[in-house]
Structure 1
Amino acid sequence: MPAKIVAICNQKGGVGKTTLVTGLAEMFSQVLELRVLVIDADPQYNVTSALGVEQPEFTLNDVLAGDPDQNQKIMPGVAADAVMLAGDAWQPRMTRDESYPALHLIAAERNLATRERDSMIARERRLRTALRGMVDEFDIVLIDCPPSLGLLTVNALTAATHALLVTEPRVSSVEGLNEIATTIGEVQENLNEDLVPVGVVINKVRKGRSDQTHWIEQVHEKWGDLVLDPVLSDRELFSKAQAAAAPLRSYGSAANPLRDDLEKLARTIWNGVQL
């Protein structure tokens, strides 16, 4: 079965995409026992660091730059050259295929930002070409998009089978959600007619905040059944785990409420992308 490629995106930063991507990667690999590839398409490389990888030798920037001996042409499947293991802490204790560790990464670096200025023909399709064929080694691929509507985000959406939108309940993030939805529509019309929105995740929710309640209602009103349950709470443990480059399981029972919510989301997303 071809891999499901999920681009995780929002126009605005600060909505907790990194913690969502790493949390879902943990659930898919360690709980659902899937073969997972995470692609860090954000030049801030937060997902790369959070997954325990420092100073990678070959990154997504190198992949998208193309072959210098072939006039920067992208060779189909070349992204395989950039695949590396996530840090040891992120590997499942047991997988269905012990010879194939379940969590892999294509890392980002700061110079990835230069790809926003690429002017090659079919520049929006470079990631799609680079992934062709090689992603079938995995069950699911998660692409962490940058917090903008630039060329890197368009590349991710053009390569993806599904889009997962993430927001927090505040005005700028909800506006960013609407803007990325417009971009998804344009990508569907012009570059990737098979792209399907798999859902909207509401992140960084704090109990008792009346202003957040208003924006949660606005998201439900606009997106209806695409809004996924449960919402994710704004917990300090998320930030601690990211800073320590450690999965939530490292924090024992203190992480159980977050892990339970993420597992429910992961199962819902996995069921959704298989329809």
Structure 2
Amino acid sequence: MVLGLASAALARGVPTLVVDIDPQADATLGLDITAEITTNVATVMGASRRNAQKVNVVPSGWASSGGTLDVLPGSHDMAALDRPTGSERTLARLSHAIHQLEGYQLVLIDCPPSLGTITRSGLAASQRALVVSEPALFSVTAADRALHAIDEVRRNIAPTLQPLGVVVNRYRERSPEHRYRLQELSDMFGPLVLGPSIRERSALQQAQGASQPIHRWPGAPAQELAHAFDAHLARVLRANTRGRRPAPAEGGPVRAEASPA
């Protein structure tokens, strides 16, 4: 989901930073980084405030022909930082790091599917939280847990955090099971279930395998996916306009956290 939103933001000319806190670091791989990485998210989040690291971002290869799309790269070392709980100081480290960075209208934080310290840190640094669910039984129950976790973080750490909604990923319209689970999600969460669903298309895997944005991938299926991500990006940007925190004159970033349930 984060790669699709980043592709839409680049196509729209929105200066964007992607923060990859998933220990798998798939977003970092997909964003075609060729520059030397001197700082990754593990070194930033693993340091105490006294020994805080300077945050250095790198450009995505997607922006080589124009636009701003930068990355705070992920690292497999993040797995060692993921615990069931974390202190408020620990959970605030990512937010402090992001506040060092300027010049972005949108900050996208790619989280792991677990709800430990890493994901809660991403939530604490966010203004809006987007839950990504597949149309399957276990994913539906995980989406419910994710929304409860968002509410917990909002009440205890980040009072301005709000759920943006739930997006269904890898959806097949012809599958009775997928249609049933989509209806189940709609019955459970009502207007929090956001359309359009992201259809399962091989074009998405092909674009990601080639480290290319979906907006540049040829073919009608890729265009369909690009339009879906455009719609979700527009919703993210509208949400920032309605619920903006006090910010500098230029308006401050949207921090949208993607949490695949």
TM-score by length of 2: 0.85
Q: 1:248 aligns with which of 210, 214, 218?
A: 214
Measure the CA separation in 1 of the matches of 2:194 and 2:86.
37
Query: CA shift at 1:250, angstroms?
Result: 3.3
Partner of residue 156, structure 1: 122
Query: CA shift at 1:121, angstroms?
Result: 6.8
Measure the CA separation in 2 of the matches of 1:231 and 1:249.
17
Report the 3-state secondary structure (helix = DSSP H, G, I; strand = E; otherwise coil) of the residue aligned with 1:230. Answer: strand
Query: CA shift at 1:129, angstroms?
Result: 1.6
Measure the CA separation in 1 of the matches of 2:143 and 2:113.
11
Q: 2:187 aligns with which of 210, 216, 221?
A: 221
Q: Superposition RMSD on alpha carbons, in Å?
A: 2.0
Distance 1:64 1:269, change over 3 A: same
Measure the CA separation in 2 of the matches of 1:181 and 1:127.
20
Q: 2:57 aligns with which of 77, 83, 89?
A: 83
Counterpart amino acid of 1:51? L
Indicate yes or no: 2:68 matched with 1:102: yes
Indicate yes or no: 2:30 matched with 1:50: yes
Report the 3-state secondary structure (helix = DSSP H, G, I; strand = E; otherwise coil) of the residue aligned with 2:198. Answer: coil
Measure the CA separation in 2 of the matches of 1:198 and 1:167.
13
Counterpart amino acid of 2:38? E
Counterpart amino acid of 1:86? S
After superposition, residues 157-172 of structure 1 pair within 5 angstroms as 157-172=123-138
Partner of residue 42, structure 2: 61
Partner of residue 209, structure 1: 175
Partner of residue 23, structure 1: 4
Q: Could you tell me the percent identity over the aligned residues?
A: 28
The answer on whether the counterparts of 1:167 and 1:203 sit within 8 Å (CA) in structure 2 is yes
The answer on whether the counterparts of 2:132 and 2:143 sit within 8 Å (CA) in structure 1 is yes
Query: CA shift at 1:249, angstroms?
Result: 3.2
Unaligned runs of 5+ in 2: 243-261
Instruction: Judge which range, 47-56 or 180-189, deviates more.
Output: 47-56
The answer on whether the counterparts of 1:30 and 1:91 sit within 8 Å (CA) in structure 2 is no
TM-score by length of 1: 0.81
The answer on whether the counterparts of 1:83 and 1:105 sit within 8 Å (CA) in structure 2 is yes
Q: 2:229 aligns with which of 238, 258, 262?
A: 262
The answer on whether the counterparts of 1:30 and 1:92 sit within 8 Å (CA) in structure 2 is no
Measure the CA separation in 1 of the matches of 2:231 and 2:15.
18
Counterpart amino acid of 1:73? R
Measure the CA separation in 2 of the matches of 1:73 and 1:267.
39
- Deviation by residue 1:89-143 (Cα, 9 ceiling, x = unmatched): x11745xxxxxx4100000111111222597771111111222242x42101000
Report the 3-state secondary structure (helix = DSSP H, G, I; strand = E; otherwise coil) of the residue aligned with 2:82. Answer: helix
Q: 2:50 aligns with which of 63, 67, 73?
A: 73
Partner of residue 41, structure 1: 21
Report the 3-state secondary structure (helix = DSSP H, G, I; strand = E; otherwise coil) of the residue aligned with 1:192. Answer: coil
After superposition, residues 111-190 of structure 1 pair within 5 angstroms as 111-117=77-83, 122-134=89-101, 136-190=102-156
Unaligned runs of 5+ in 1: 1-19, 95-100
The answer on whether the counterparts of 1:74 and 1:129 sit within 8 Å (CA) in structure 2 is no
The answer on whether the counterparts of 2:60 and 2:69 sit within 8 Å (CA) in structure 1 is yes
Q: Deviation above 4 Å: which 4+ runs of structure 1?
A: 117-121
Q: Which structure has more RCO (C-alpha within 8 Å, separation ≥ 6)?
A: 1
Which has the larger strand fraction?
A: 2
The answer on whether the counterparts of 2:130 and 2:164 sit within 8 Å (CA) in structure 1 is yes
Report the 3-state secondary structure (helix = DSSP H, G, I; strand = E; otherwise coil) of the residue aligned with 1:53. Answer: coil
Report the 3-state secondary structure (helix = DSSP H, G, I; strand = E; otherwise coil) of the residue aligned with 1:142. Answer: strand
Instruction: Give the total of aligned pairs.
Output: 239
Report the 3-state secondary structure (helix = DSSP H, G, I; strand = E; otherwise coil) of the residue aligned with 1:149. Answer: coil
